[in-house]
Amino acid sequence: MEGSDLAPIWRGKSERVRDTLFTTYEDLMRAVRDERWKLIRYPQINKTQLFDLKEDRHELKDLSEHPEQQERIKKMLVELKEWQKRTDDKQPLTSEHPKPQAIDLTGRKRKPDQHQPDWIVKKYFDSE
* Helix H or strand E segment including 81: helix 70-86
- Residue from 106, 93, 104 nearest 42 by CA: 93
Q: Phi-psi bin for 103: left (phi > 0), alpha (psi -120 to 50), beta? A: beta
Per-residue pLDDT of the chain (128 residues; tens, 9 = 90+): 567 777 887 888 877 777 899 999 998 999 999 999 999 999 999 999 999 999 999 999 999 999 999 999 999 999 999 999 999 999 999 999 999 998 888 888 878 888 989 998 888 886 65
pLDDT of residue 127: 62
pTM to 2 decimal places: 0.76
Report the alpha-carbon distance of residue 77 to residue 41 in Å, rounded: 9
Q: Classify domain 7-98 by CATH number.
A: 3.30.1120.10
Q: For the chain, which residues make up each domain, given as ranges?
A: 7-98
CB 22 within 8 A of CB 34: no
